[in-house]
Amino acid sequence: MASMRTLPKEFTVRRRDPVLVTPSEPTPQETKPLSDLDDGEGMRFYSSGIHLYRHNPAKAGQDPAQVTRLRCGGFIFGQRFCHCVVDAPGGMQFEKAICELACGADKPSVTPSWGREMFMAGDPPARPRYQHLEYREPAGGPDRMLTTPPSQMARAPFFFGPREIAGLRQRAQARRCSRFELVAACIWRSRTAALGYAPGDEVRLCFIVNARGRPDDVPLPEGFYGNAFAYSVAATTAGELCGKDLGFALDLVKKAKSAVTYDYLRSVADLMVLEGRPLFTLTRTYLVSDVSHAGFKSVDFGWGEAVYGGPAKGGEGPLLGVTNYFSRAKNGKGEEGTVVPICLPKDAMEKFQLEVQGLTAEL
């Protein structure tokens, strides 16, 4: 017997004239000047991020909208920001505003503020008041990280959980230090040893220090979402870095981190104008950005906290392994830790792994 089909019910469609849905208030039309921290060669790229969400039974039948849906009922939200306009905290401010609107708010709880004038160079710009090693070439020979073809590079993630951090703290010899400082010092020292630089070659760790939350008086207006950071540099020779204990590297990192003040940021702005907005140097330099506290996972569009929220890739730029993000994640045991994606020449990766194991093993 043939199966019976249920014919669709008839319904009436009324076609009306289209209506333009306008904004609730006039959209500003003006030119916004970037600050001299925004308008640098190193800021002219798009930073990609992703947020992964599980299926939420309470949202069954509801459409999460501008996203990649998964068969399990979860979805992936991706975004790209032009770094000339926002830094990581600024991008998070924007995403949280979207969350608030998606959850029914009439307007964001934090009103965005442009406020770029605080990071403009002087008129005329003053002579930079600091060395600014981040824009000066280091002394020494060639850097194989800049010449090794991609096909000869290896990638591996390294997890620094409670056990690894405990081992590093033992080697810190009672120094007060943050998780970032410990992991950065460990990676820098291990990477330098693995790459086999000559003892007299200058090697550097370059990292981002954000003005937000600094103890000194940086006059950021509420709602500011522009770039409010500088690159700070720890520098020494490969022989000294690898020949001394971890505490030596750690002291250099802490000193460099404390050097970034509001005056330092203004000096960077002056340098940008006077020297043609140079790109930070990459030779024998390991550049890292710590986004583990940016709050990517807390972005909630109504479906709950993300399973993962953060950078879509391990670093930025055309040269593999030169730049890295530090982000937060859990291992198979459910332990919270810092994940560092490492990219090195294939013949250096095993040496790097052994160096890290030696520094993180508990005494």
Residue 270: is its pLDDT beyond 50? Answer: yes
Q: How confident is the model at residue 19 (pLDDT cuts 50, 70, 90)?
A: confident
Q: How confident is the model at residue 317 (pLDDT cuts 50, 70, 90)?
A: low
For residue 45, which phi and psi values (nearest 5 degrees)? -160, 165
What's the whole-number mean pLDDT along residues 90-109?
Answer: 92
234, 204 in Cβ contact below 8 A? Answer: yes
Round to whole Å and give the CA distance between 64 and 300.
12
Round to whole Å and give the CA distance between 93 and 59.
25
Q: How confident is the model at residue 239 (pLDDT cuts 50, 70, 90)?
A: very high
Round to whole Å and give the CA distance between 106 and 109.
9
Q: How confident is the model at residue 318 (pLDDT cuts 50, 70, 90)?
A: low
pLDDT of the residue at 152 = 94
pLDDT tens-digit series, residues 322-339: 778 898 888 889 999 999
pTM, entire model: 0.87
> DSSP string of 190-227?
HHHHHHT--TTSEEEEEEEEESTT-SS---PPTTB-S-
Q: Which one is predicted more confidently, 113 or 214?
A: 113
List residues with catalytic annotation.
Answer: 83, 300
pLDDT tens-digit series, residues 183-195: 999 999 999 999 9
Residue 122: is its pLDDT beyond 50? Answer: yes
Q: Burial level of 34, CB count in 10 A (0-12/13-18/19+)?
A: middle
Q: Which of 216, 314, 221 is nearest to 257 (CA)?
A: 216
CA dist 14 → 10, 11, 17, 107, 286 (Å): 13, 10, 10, 34, 64
pLDDT tens-digit series, residues 344-360: 999 999 999 999 999 99
235, 133 in Cβ contact below 8 A? Answer: yes
CA dist 52 → 67, 309, 324 (Å): 10, 7, 21
Q: Residue 209 pairs with which residues in a beta bridge?
A: 230
For residue 62, which phi and psi values (nearest 5 degrees)? -95, 145
Residues contacting 105, CB < 8 A, separation 6+: none
Residues contacting 41, CB < 8 A, separation 6+: 277, 278, 279
